[in-house]
């Protein structure tokens, strides 16, 4: 039976801002360390954590930059404490170096990226969905991460808890790709009884230190994680390392290590990926949308269904791993696909890659800065449908 | 060199290094010998000194954690039989901050070169010093980027020749003790590997000190020496022997290093002051919050 701190958010119904719900969810998930750097539109998360973490015996620190923030988060997690940071586009870009570090050292951590309009400084106060690809491909070399796409206050709460669980379970960096609309939206939140909330903690070695010869054992996808100070005296290396943790330039060592780091997520992608379908059973035209854009897309489906237009919505809830098998199945049943997102074409590439060859794919990009109104998506759908 | 020559040389290195580190097997990963450091490099001696200090520290070995970034010096904690984290370039201090805050019981020591700590990692270094985290930072200053082949860095003396300053270096170098002092470090020392006993003693004081401790070790580097005034691999060591002046009371503004044979190289235990650490202040904050309740 897990114990829950008496000062966590109590089960019940709330009307809460998305960013604050994110922070409360992290505390319930067991997060006790936050390092961050001020950046709009994620600031409420840091402000709330600076107030709440000391109440539950955790530590908040405002670092000198986003680079230091994510690195301190990894350090705290290496010492056995669940840790997170929150940021937005420019800060997320600065953190890319350590996305690779987290992967190489297999240190669990959570980044909440409240996406804003880019590129560069862009429009800090307005929404964007421009970090879908960066989340997966922004750091050098081969690695895997998990990334969630919340589209409501309730979902950003649920997904933040899940992000910690997945990070701990797979010893992987997990990213919550929230956005300015979801982060600043005030909406309904139901906190269930704690017993109903699943909390996963990383597996620790159960052998005495002298028996742990290969802390980075390649014969299993995920090894128990020795914590700093626990007596295992492990060398964690950002360099390509063998199963003892020692640096190596051997090609077999490198191939085995990188394969395992990637396989531990790819071989579990069906257990990790999530999506929502809305009127897809008999759909002839499929809308693909996620995050705040999916809210407008759903309205379009509702409206056009009243006109007996056979439209459905496919909403990936994880960008990474992308539910590609389901995308492929659905693409075979429809004649047209419309991808709506607040960027000039990111998830579009995934839809193209995994859809059947003969389906027509149309992109509905929206200028970063605003959430597309339903009418915008509706007009594009009508154009495609010829209605 | 033939492959059999290389093999014999390697065998010789393993035997001599294993003998050199005899008695320290508890804290040195002798199974990783030979280490990668060049003959004439100061890092092998610093490794031994740090291992000895860890053993003498009275702090259980299991509580010692080493953190490092990239570069020759970044490889040092990996040769210690302790929990070690070899992270990305320049980020060791930030990683150490996270480790220490998450578990204040750990004795966290960052070991990094001048490039790692005060050049690419300069921002993390000055801010961690300002906050007075209770961590130790050993900066091995060899005036150059050794691992990448000898490029200039933030401590390279003006006029030096390096692979990226073939016409002579035109920048001014950092004075590390002064930088540490201005940033808020609460323990500052500088030694060289040839002052072995004093170096080990400085490491022990650093472990004992509560607060941000900086020990700069001026180290000989053959890559730096061969392009400058120290062509033979013993020349820099001879220079340290002849020109080092121990002055614990030195004015930190006047101890920048030029490596000019006419100038003294000032070393010593320069500064020590007790100031509450970030960890202590944050612990007090937590206690205050749990007593008085949250801010409305």
Beta bridge partner(s), residue A196 = none
Counting Cα atoms < 13 Å in the Cβ hemisphere of A322 gives 22
Cβ burial, residue B168 (10 Å; 0-12/13-18/19+):
exposed
> Three-state secondary structure along B155-174?
CCCCCCCECCECCCCCCCCC
Instruction: Tell me the three state secondary structure of residue B202.
Output: helix
- pTM of the predicted model, to two decimals? 0.97
pLDDT confidence tier of residue A386, bands split at 50, 70 and 90: confident
Q: What is the mean pLDDT of residues B176-196?
A: 98
Digit-coded pLDDT (tens) for A261-272:
999 999 999 999
Question: Cβ of A33 and B102 within 8 Å?
Answer: yes
Residue B166 parent element (H or E):
none
At A213-224, the pLDDT tens digits run 999 999 999 999
Read off the pLDDT band of B233 (50, 70, 90): confident
pLDDT value of position A3: 79
Q: Mean pLDDT, to the nearest integer, of B43-53?
A: 98
* Domain harbouring B279, CATH code: 3.40.50.970
| 8-67 of A, contacting B, C-beta below 8 A | 32-33, 35, 51-52, 54-55, 57, 59, 61, 63-65, 67
Assigned domain for B221 exists: yes
Contact B98 A230 (CB under 8 A): no
- DSSP classification of residue B252: G
SS3 at position B101: helix
Indicate whether B34 belongs to any domain. Answer: no
Q: Establish if B22 belongs to a structural domain.
A: no
C-alpha–C-alpha distance, residues B147 and B112, integer Å: 12
Cα–chain center distance at B70: 12
End-to-end CA distance of chain B: 74
Q: Is A10 helix (H, G, I), strand (E, B) or coil?
A: coil
Asked whether residue B3 is assigned to any structural domain, the reply reads: no
Please check whether residue B282 lies inside any domain of the structure.
yes
Asked whether residue B295 carries a pLDDT value surpassing 80, the answer given is no
Q: What would the pLDDT profile of B266-289 be if each residue is shown by its tens digit?
A: 999 999 999 999 999 999 999 999
| pLDDT over threshold 70, residue B149 | yes
Of the candidates B153, B165, B112, B163, which has an alpha carbon nearest to the alpha carbon of residue B257?
B153
Q: Give CA separation, B2 vs A36, A323, B7, B9, B269, in Å.
A: 54, 55, 9, 11, 47
- For residues A332, A338, A343 and A344, what is the CA-based torsion angle, rounded to 10 degrees? 90
- On whether any CB of chain B is under 8 Å from the CB of A203, the answer is no
Q: Do A72 and B97 touch (CB under 8 A)?
A: yes
Distance in angstroms (rounded) separating the CA atoms of residues B42 and A128: 52
Q: What is the mean pLDDT of residues B239-257?
A: 97
User: Which of A54, A69, A228 minimises the CB distance to B99?
Assistant: A228
Q: Is the separation of the CB atoms in B221 and B193 below 8 Å?
A: no
The total domain count for chain B is: 1
Q: Please report the pLDDT score of residue B294 as a whole number.
A: 66
For residue A191, the model assigns a pLDDT of: 98
* Residue B4, in any domain of the structure: no
Name which of A35, A55, A75 is nearest B96 (Cβ-Cβ).
A75
pLDDT for A152: 98
**Has residue B122 got a pLDDT over 70?**
yes
Does residue B27 lie in a domain region? no
Closest-approach residue (CA) in chain B for A69? B94
ipTM: 0.97
| Chain A interface, best mutation among B67, B87, B278, by max A CB count within 10 A | B87
A-chain residues near B121 (CB < 8 A)? none
Alpha carbon distances (Å) from B110 to A40, A295, A360, B116, B128: 32, 48, 57, 11, 12
pLDDT tens for A168-189 read 999 999 999 999 999 999 999 9
Q: For the residues B113-131, what does the mean pLDDT come to?
A: 98
- Give contacts of A33 with chain B, Cβ < 8 Å: 98, 101-102
Contact B52, B23 (CB under 8 A): no
**Listed residue (B131, B13, B7, B147) closest to B86, CA to CA:** B147
Average the pLDDT over A86-115 and give the result.
98
What's residue A387's pLDDT? 62
- Domains defined for chain A, CATH in brackets: 12-196 (3.40.50.970), 276-385 (3.40.50.920)
Full residue range of the structural domain in which residue B82 is found: 39-292
Q: What are the tens digits of pLDDT across the range B57-91?
A: 999 999 999 999 999 999 999 999 999 999 999 99
Q: Is the predicted pLDDT of residue A1 greater than 60, yes or no?
A: no
């Amino acid at each position: 039976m897990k114990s829950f701190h008496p000062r966590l958010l109590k089960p019940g119904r709330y009307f809460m801002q998305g960013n604050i719900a994110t922070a409360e969810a992290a505390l319930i998930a067991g997060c006790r360390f936050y390092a961050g750097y001020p950046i709009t539109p994620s600031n409420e998360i840091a402000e709330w954590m600076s107030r709440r973490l000391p109440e539950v015996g955790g530590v908040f620190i405002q670092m000198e930059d986003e680079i230091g923030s994510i690195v301190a988060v990894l350090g705290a997690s290496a010492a056995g404490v669940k840790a997170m940071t929150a940021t937005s586009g420019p800060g997320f870009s600065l953190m890319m170096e350590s996305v690779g570090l987290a992967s190489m050292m297999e240190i669990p951590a959570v980044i909440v990226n409240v996406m804003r309009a880019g590129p560069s400084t862009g429009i800090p106060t307005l929404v964007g969905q421009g970090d879908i690809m960066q989340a997966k491909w922004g750091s050098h070399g081969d690695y895997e991460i998990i990334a969630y796409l919340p589209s409501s206050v309730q979902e950003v709460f649920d997904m933040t808890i899940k992000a910690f669980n997945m990070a701990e379970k797979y010893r992987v960096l997990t990213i919550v790709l929230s956005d300015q609309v979801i982060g600043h939206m005030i909406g309904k939140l139901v906190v269930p009884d704690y017993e109903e909330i699943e909390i996963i903690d990383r597996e620790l070695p159960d052998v005495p230190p002298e028996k742990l010869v290969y802390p980075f054992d390649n014969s299993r996808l995920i090894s128990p994680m020795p914590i700093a100070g626990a007596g295992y005296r492990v060398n964690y290396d950002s360099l390509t390392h063998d199963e003892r943790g020692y640096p190596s330039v051997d090609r077999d060592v490198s191939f085995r290590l990188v394969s395992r780091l990637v396989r531990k997520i790819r071989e579990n992608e069906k257990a990790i990926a999530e999506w929502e379908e809305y009127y897809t059973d008999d759909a002839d035209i499929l809308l693909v949308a996620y995050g705040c854009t999916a809210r407008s897309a759903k309205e379009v489906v509702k409206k056009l269904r009243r006109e007996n237009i056979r439209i459905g919505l496919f909403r990936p809830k994880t960008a990474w791993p992308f539910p590609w098998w389901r995308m492929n199945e659905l693409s075979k049943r429809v004649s047209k696909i419309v991808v709506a997102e607040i960027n000039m074409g990111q998830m579009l590439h995934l839809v193209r890659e995994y859809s059947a060859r003969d389906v027509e794919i149309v992109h509905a990009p929206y200028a970063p800065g605003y959430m597309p109104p339903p009418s915008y998506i509706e007009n594009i759908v009508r154009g495609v449908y010829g209605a | 060199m033939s492959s059999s020559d290389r093999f014999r040389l390697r065998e010789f290195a393993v035997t001599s290094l294993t003998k050199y580190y005899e008695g320290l097997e508890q804290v040195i990963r002798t199974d990783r010998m030979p280490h990668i450091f060049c003959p004439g490099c100061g890092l092998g001696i610093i490794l031994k000194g740090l291992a000895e200090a860890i053993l003498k520290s009275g702090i259980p070995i299991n509580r010692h954690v080493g953190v490092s970034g990239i570069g020759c010096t970044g490889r040092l904690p990996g040769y210690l039989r302790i929990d070690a984290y070899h992270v990305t370039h320049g980020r060791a201090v930030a990683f150490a901050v996270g480790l220490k805050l998450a578990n204040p019981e750990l004795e966290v020591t960052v070991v990094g070169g001048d490039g790692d700590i005060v050049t690419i990692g300069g921002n993390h270094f000055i801010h961690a010093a300002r906050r007075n985290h209770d961590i130790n930072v050993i900066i091995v200053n060899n005036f150059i980027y050794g691992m990448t082949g000898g490029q200039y860095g933030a401590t390279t003396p003006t006029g030096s020749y390096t692979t990226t300053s073939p016409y002579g270096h035109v920048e001014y170098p950092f004075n590390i003790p002064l930088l540490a002092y201005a940033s808020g470090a609460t323990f500052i020392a500088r030694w060289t590997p040839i002052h072995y006993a004093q170096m080990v003693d400085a490491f022990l004081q650093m472990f004992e000190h509560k607060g941000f401790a900086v020990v700069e070790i001026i180290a000989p580097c053959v890559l730096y020496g061969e392009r400058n005034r120290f062509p033979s691999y013993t020349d820099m060591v001879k220079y340290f022997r002849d020109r080092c002046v121990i002055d614990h009371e030195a004015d930190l503004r006047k101890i920048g290093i030029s490596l000019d044979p006419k100038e003294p190289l000032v070393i010593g235990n320069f500064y020590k002051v007790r100031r509450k650490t970030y960890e202590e202040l944050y612990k007090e904050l937590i206690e205050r919050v749990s007593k008085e309740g949250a801010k409305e």
